[in-house]
Structure 1
């Protein structure tokens, strides 16, 4: 009988494990040594250093004195200002208005990602300038904050910044905050060419009940001339479908006239077809001529009627040429489609909701084809209110809680558009009735009211 050979596998495994552990240790140690040698070598030739010199009152000039091969330098001047540069010969003159010690740091970055840092403490012996201001609620009007610049020392100029406003060189200023909420007020002072700023937060406890009454008429077109005023309006022309598969050709004034103080835009049938170019109309815009940010915008108009007609009173962001639509934002103050008589629509279009997904409302207005009505918005940094006839008759409010570039592009100027389209994706959704033409939209005025406080 053949005997089996018994192998002690535990000893073999033990030897293999030991050899593996030794090899791994050698590898790890080698990597450790290599990485540390590489790190040390990468910065061994670097010497981070700078000199400084006091110049004039509270000014310090910093000069790079570093040695070795490196790519960039990052300065931290200890006063909240930091700058990165690749210019090794660049000097910095820094203004320190307040007395005290400031830790200045210079960090070098070489081409291998290695860094060297040096720090020095400078002492500013005396205070040259102190920025300060007071902000007190007005005793008679809780929506006004009385500001006073109480800064100490000499400076060239200053300005208040709040609610997208900039008020220059008013030592005492009454800042108007018409709506409930928290706001930031900034005082920005220029001294020796340096910008110094201070910010404070304030709270407003109530909406101003007289906000609408406090707005002032800043621009209007009453259409009381002989022709459309070219200082206010430009005719857009062409039969391009206008992004909505519309059928009309917009003409250069042939379909718009001033009659007895009214702007009359007329849509005309040119042939018996229902194709692109079978109709003519007008579209006027105030782009580059009359553009506005915030305020009460109101247009008094009488709309046309009939299936296939699509008049609109609306606004687009003035930056549309650079950012496109819908990033520029669109405010449709009033739209009407003829196959839905006695109904008007108010809509906003933003990157977060546009075209058929725009945010808005539709309301019944039985007399819109027979009578003039006022179509308006009250546009503030907080929200956009749409109204019909009076500002008290709000039909829709657009007010995203968390505003972003996607849902609130309405912090930039916009321009007006007045037009009648024929057909199109929405206006022509149920076809065009050629028996209705010609059709006119009459506009009494376009007015803009804004804050003057």
Structure 2
């Protein structure tokens, strides 16, 4: 079973964070020439991390920028096993990173519930790229189907020392399969984590689904606020942003 999810023009601009991508269904990320980046209020920005996924078809991501997590995720009770290599995350030769979930278990992987039923991929920039403040965005075409959970988020880069939720989390985009036209942006930290996270949702007009076309998901993060937007439409503003890194800490978030 393959249901691709595509990411197009994945760009991190002047922000302090470790970034991450995950999907329970295939997705593709494609990069295309773009104008100079601007924030949601049209402020020009300097690019600090720009990923175009421009390698040959079938190749993996740039290992100097990305690491692929492996194993199951018992914390979220996900049903897939995250693999390394190109079986579940590969470039398509057209500027896309395609993350593919498959109903398979080629290596007798074990998950929290027993023998794993699916494989997928989860990528992050931990130990390779971190930044604070600015604009963080990705252009993606999300997967479609019941049970999927594509996500684009940031976690504090001191996660290994203080754990979650103290390290903080900024969810730039999350989507669940039973809401094909809605995405969510959420903050997690001490006292407001898990189901108690602080957030809001954005729904496409006219009954459209995020699997129909590419869309740009972004936050604009300053010392005084975080704004979430979809295709330039700001749908949520929160203050102070440092709450997402734990009780006024200036720790960088990561995804």
TM over 0.5: yes
Is residue 163 of structure 2 the alignment partner of residue 324 of structure 1? yes
* Matched residue, 1:161: none
Is residue 128 of structure 2 the alignment partner of residue 294 of structure 1? no
Is residue 54 of structure 2 the alignment partner of residue 235 of structure 1? no
* Matched residue, 1:338: 177
Is residue 209 of structure 2 the alignment partner of residue 362 of structure 1? no
Gaps of at least 5 residues in structure 1 are 1-208, 417-453
Q: Answer yes or no: is the 8 Å Cα contact 2:168–2:243 preserved in 1.
A: no
Task: Return the match for 1:246 from 70, 74, 78.
Answer: 78
Q: Answer yes or no: is the 8 Å Cα contact 1:246–1:276 preserved in 2.
A: no
Q: Structure 1 residues 240 and 386, CA, compared in 2 at 3 Å: closer, same or farther?
A: closer
SS at match of 2:153: strand
* Matched residue, 1:389: 231
Work out the CA distance in 1 between the residues paired with 2:114 and 2:244.
Answer: 40
Give 1:343-422 correspondences, 5 Å limit.
Answer: 343-365=182-204, 366-390=208-232, 393-400=233-240, 406-409=246-249, 411-416=250-255
Work out the CA distance in 1 between the residues paired with 2:65 and 2:53.
Answer: 11
Shift of 1:415: 2.8
Shift of 1:408: 4.2
Shift of 1:213: 2.6
Deviations 1:108-143 (A, max 9, x none): xxxxxxxxxxxxxxxxxxxxxxxxxxxxxxxxxxxx
* Matched residue, 1:3: none
Work out the CA distance in 2 between the residues paired with 1:382 and 1:261.
Answer: 35
Give 1:147-296 correspondences, 5 Å limit.
Answer: 212-226=42-56, 227-241=60-74, 243-253=75-85, 254-259=87-92, 260-270=94-104, 277-296=116-135
Shift of 1:413: 1.9
Q: Structure 1 residues 329 and 276, CA, compared in 2 at 3 Å: closer, same or farther?
A: farther
Q: Answer yes or no: is the 8 Å Cα contact 2:138–2:218 preserved in 1.
A: yes
Deviations 1:147-206 (A, max 9, x none): xxxxxxxxxxxxxxxxxxxxxxxxxxxxxxxxxxxxxxxxxxxxxxxxxxxxxxxxxxxx
SS at match of 1:268: coil
Q: Answer yes or no: is the 8 Å Cα contact 2:138–2:216 preserved in 1.
A: yes
Shift of 1:247: 0.8
Gaps of at least 5 residues in structure 2 are 1-38, 106-112
Q: Structure 1 residues 312 and 405, CA, compared in 2 at 3 Å: closer, same or farther?
A: closer
Query: Which structure carries more relative contact order (alpha carbon 8 Å, separation 6+)?
Result: 2
Q: Answer yes or no: is the 8 Å Cα contact 1:316–1:414 preserved in 2.
A: yes
Larger of the two Rg values belongs to structure: 1
Work out the CA distance in 2 between the residues paired with 1:220 and 1:402.
Answer: 24
SS at match of 2:160: helix
Deviations 1:76-120 (A, max 9, x none): xxxxxxxxxxxxxxxxxxxxxxxxxxxxxxxxxxxxxxxxxxxxx
Work out the CA distance in 2 between the residues paired with 1:408 and 1:309.
Answer: 33
* Structure with greater helix percent: 1
Shift of 1:401: 10
Root mean square deviation of aligned Cα: 2.4
